[in-house]
Amino acid sequence: MTKKFLIENTKTLFYALIIAILIRSIIIQPFYIPSSSMESNLLVGDRLFVTKYSYGYSKHSFPFSPAIFKDRIFYKPPKRGDVIVFKTPADNRTDYIKRLIGLPGDIVQFIDGDIYLNGNQILKTIKSKNDIIYCGNSKIKVTTFLEKLPGGKIYTASYRNDFSYKNSDKFIVPENHFFFLGDNRDCSKDSRYLTEVGYVHKDNLVGKAQILFFSSDPNIGSIFKVWKWNHIMRFNRFFKKII
């Protein structure tokens, strides 16, 4: 009886593990935000769901990136402005989350702190001044803008008041690659830094960030400190759609 019980439970656990891996690989996967590069849209301590089917599948859709696909299958091109999780080209292992700005063939350039896309300035209007957000463990003052991409996508982006990334060479996005920026513009390692991130190949896309389902403030304390939940939990961010 005991042996049969152990065998049946082992089978159940095995099947449950297989189902969990398939769901995580094919449908949806949770991710944790560990850095401030997307503030104030995504905060350290946010947990979000990423849909794996949004852009088709590559080896990076699966745990440990097994070499089961040569290319991407069922590929659907991402849209400009999508918030996307991808594997960094530097090691094909580390997960980053950024906003898609440049599509294959686009020319991206910073001029006097403004973003130009194919020679046209991305429109931005001031939303608020002297906001306080994080950059690593430090707090910085920023001006928050509403930016509008070609196609109509509108989102918020923050620029430091005391120093901001002003000018750059032209970034010419190669075929099958994409150019990403963090919404916390002066506290983000992204496609501007060619040796660390650079242009991201379509096979490195993991999925599209869709829903922020849980959030806690690690600067205040651990979620296991139940008696501090009224301070630790960001209840107003639960089940919030990612724009």
User: Which residues lie across from 180 on neighbouring strands?
Assistant: 100
Active site residue 128: no
Distance CA 147, CA 163 (A): 19
From the list 52, 59, 87, 98, the catalytic residue is: 98
Could you give phi then psi for residue 73, rounded to 5 degrees?
-110, 155
Three-state SS string over 168-225 comes to CCCEECCCCEEEEECCECCCCCCCCCCCCCCCEEHHHEEEEEEEEEEEECCCCCCCCC
β-bridge pairing 120-121 and 123-135: unpaired
Structure tokens at 48: 């979000």
Contact 32, 221 (CB under 8 A): no
From the list 35, 37, 188, 191, the catalytic residue is: 37
Residues with Cβ within 8 Å of residue 133, at least 6 apart in sequence: 36, 39, 40, 139, 140, 142, 158, 184
Active site residue 37: yes
Sign of the dihedral defined by the CA atoms of residues 185, 219, 223, 236, in that order: negative
> How many other C-beta atoms are found inside a 10 Å radius of the C-beta of residue 110?
19
Contact 176, 201 (CB under 8 A): yes
Task: Give the residue numbers marked as catalytic.
Answer: 37, 98
